Structure 1
């Protein structure tokens, strides 16, 4: 009996450790650390724009130190990990590991990250948007695949919703920091007024990004990705990733709003 109880005890203790190890493997397979690095680079670029537009370029070392803290790699990574842990069951993790460890999955992650990094260059982003506009409404196979992929994963609506939520949090941070005197209703009205512009811009960026990313991808790999994305396990991963990154962007946006307000305090605005 003692041996049985000991074995059961070890099994119970090992289960969380095994789950944590599998999640670490999934994070590695999805190359989340690379994605977070790209997000951080994008954030630093955006912070420079905010410094010029809202702080008259006078943010200096104090502003940069705040931005560096806001885009903390460990915090961002942990938020994504928590979303995956909460949103995925064992079957979901198994399916994700199987697909993204395959040749197709590895190639897809490589292409997506390379395209995301490349599009930090405004000229590359413009070229990607132009590619979408040139193919929009056509029967081009790649365009059709990308359009279907966006539809299956509800990518446009999710990204529009995320962008609006981030904008709300940024304005809320500004107001809470007394950079503006906008009420809750005024902030909401301002965000909703931007919806159509956000949708149009997001549609161009998203299509351009995916067209650029998947251009080199063999058709059979794209079809395999589509097949995985349509499974319950693929949908669960998509939802969990969106939940994680939306949480990240909400928190970052609010923190940036507060930081702008803090840095502008006492200056003539």
Structure 2
């Protein structure tokens, strides 16, 4: 049986497009310099809507954990399970992990966040963040997610001349490597889930076999990820003009924008990896309890 842990993808990962965390950086150089760097990162990530994004991911995660229990446990879990998953999806801890991962990545690069702060602090930048968060929240509803995917698939074969907006979004996705980064993040998250099951005693499987099993579904994961990302972006950016979307694409294509995107993936991948491993251990623990 293949256990599939679907990150609340984007796995953006669905989130990297959305944007997020506050940075809690280790001291670097003088304490005054370190504090200034941390404040600068905090300002950028506040503009990116971190708490709202984390809360949506928490809602997604709690629902997913219940589906996981229904699929994998022989009987319905009780109050202990609910307390466990609420602890796993603690929003403060989730945000702290993302912030730290973002800080480690972003602050290690020789980039100045001023351009990013200026853009995301503008009316257009804030409009984009609101649209992304609104679309992410809407897609918690499976019917809306299905409709977004279908809307993309209806247009997926169009040429640039036939669908200029789709061509813009394709260029945006390719420039930011969103599909590949989300696929890799999703696979690593699934591996962490398997490892949690193994360490919890619910599964006897070597690490090489886990990796082979998970990456055996890479094609299916890639297709699913692509559909989600394009459905999400097409819905989120529908109200934007072509010029506004181009301005956004220009900013995230700069060295600063690429450093931000890489750091977002680093932060969210760390968060999802921790959560996925903890879910595997929790499922294993419930199996032991229900076997008694």
**Secondary structure at 2:76's aligned position in 1?**
coil
**Secondary structure at 2:113's aligned position in 1?**
helix
Which of 59, 62, 65 lines up with 2:77 in the alignment? Answer: 59
Deviations 1:19-60 (A, max 9, x none): 222222222101111111111011011011012111245222
Contact 2:192 2:277 in 1 (8 A): yes
Contact 2:111 2:259 in 1 (8 A): no
Partner of 1:119: 139
What is the deviation of 1:171? 0.8
Residues paired across the two proteins, number: 259
What is the deviation of 1:87? 2.3
Partner of 1:80: 98
Partner of 1:24: 42
Contact 1:92 1:237 in 2 (8 A): no
Higher mean C-alpha deviation, range 47-56 or range 33-42 = 47-56
Deviations 1:200-254 (A, max 9, x none): 1111111101111111112111000111111101100000000100111111100
Superposed counterparts of 1:103-114, under 5 Å: 103-114=123-134
CA distance in 2, matches of 1:117, 1:266: 35
**TM-score, scaled to structure 1:** 0.91
Matched, 1:152 2:183: no
What is the deviation of 1:150? 0.5
Contact 2:75 2:290 in 1 (8 A): no
Contact 1:132 1:208 in 2 (8 A): yes
**Secondary structure at 1:234's aligned position in 2?**
helix
CA distance in 1, matches of 2:112, 2:54: 22
Partner of 1:5: none
Runs of at least 5 residues in structure 1 that lack an aligned partner in the other structure: 1-11
CA distance in 2, matches of 1:153, 1:104: 20
Which of 46, 54, 58 lines up with 1:36 in the alignment? Answer: 54
Taking a change above 3 Å as real, the CA distance of residues 190 and 25 of structure 1, as seen in their structure-2 partners, is: same
Contact 1:92 1:236 in 2 (8 A): no
**Secondary structure at 2:140's aligned position in 1?**
coil
**Secondary structure at 1:243's aligned position in 2?**
helix
User: Larger helix proportion, structure 1 or 2?
Assistant: 1
Runs of at least 5 residues in structure 2 that lack an aligned partner in the other structure: 1-29
Partner of 1:130: 150
Larger Rg: 1
**TM-score, scaled to structure 2:** 0.84
Contact 1:92 1:234 in 2 (8 A): no
What is the deviation of 1:113? 0.7
